[in-house]
Structure 1
């Protein structure tokens, strides 16, 4: 308990006695259990999935993948749905988490957004076969930047922006065709990977007011950065239980803050989104 008391003091600037920490720990353990067993909404417009790495001790210290899923409800409010800690990010863990989400009451999800982890689409389709999938266009741009010369980065990334910032899907596909024609000789592998990716344009089939919210994982990445800002005050968590208690306290705070706030664009898209849910039935 002394180590946990020190952890709390370093992270939050408050000192508590080991006995106080022991009492707090019992309450937090109940919060973790309740968080993971609470019922979820029947329908979510979209779910963002992403993993962030945090140091935790299991005999030795290593950074492990905290898998986090954030959903947007029909009214545009946001909610952390579930999470899991594992040594590395994997589609298998995501499949288990999505099974848990379904068991807790979620029957319909229109769209999943992630960074394109290998196997993730199959994992999603096994649990939610009618859901659509969008690969993060910002991640695609970053990947492109890493595969080209520094002198070409600014130009090629600016060209790629026109693919996901067009007026409609037809214009976006035309922009990709132009992009590929321009760069196919210099960077054939980059062009080939984009041509073979069927999940770049999914967001165009959703209402225009929410396009900027759903063509990338920026929403969940910014949340993960906030979590890491706190964890960086401490080199490691003494064990997984301590990490989970910290995570759930952050998730509950997030859920309370955004329970009544409509995410940008979703108020304007509400009637169209309701129609999309109805068409899925």
Structure 2
């Protein structure tokens, strides 16, 4: 019935209809809301790059969604490629009126918002891998189904990109550790519904955070991230800048959003950036 390698026309895969841009705008671009514009493009290199290039001319709340990204990026310059209309690939332009030193919470905030929105609309239990991955369970195995990339755009703006695998089948996964909402037995894979839910959740959490002047505790963000973070309480290996490696137990998230790792010698180290590997007990 379906084919992911059809003619390339908008209905080459009947399980993957295009997004309804007009309907999404009616639902999300509201007079007193955060979202000021919403554009759906058939294909682009990177929605983050597209928004960053126009950051000075666009107001806060601009949203770009791509049916397909040919140069999608994750952290550490990793690529993020998926079949057309198989996921949600979006970027939002934010210009937060909060102290810049708190902007590092935005990827974590986006993760909380995505997990909150998708848990309701897709009916799937998701968790967060610090600092920016969304995890689902596929056959009892932890799989990455989404990722977040935040990038500064000029002096006062930040572009936050979010990619979510929605209907990828097992034979379409880029790597064995990847997953999708479909493979996690989602009750809904309707991308319009999922996108509305994610953006409404992001608007809520961003509003709470800005009203609290970016304070992660006062806004409830730190507590929500901690509650949904699969990394905490686990043994981890952190591959740090400068080819340094740190291994220990992930015990907390500090006020700056850093992962606090308890090391063998009884001390702790706060990790601000790095590649985190969840280790099994036998590792």
TM-score, structure 2 as length reference: 0.25
**Higher strand proportion:** 2
Structure scoring higher RCO (CA < 8 A, sep ≥ 6) equals 1
TM-score, structure 1 as length reference: 0.26
**Higher helix proportion:** 1
Larger radius of gyration: 1
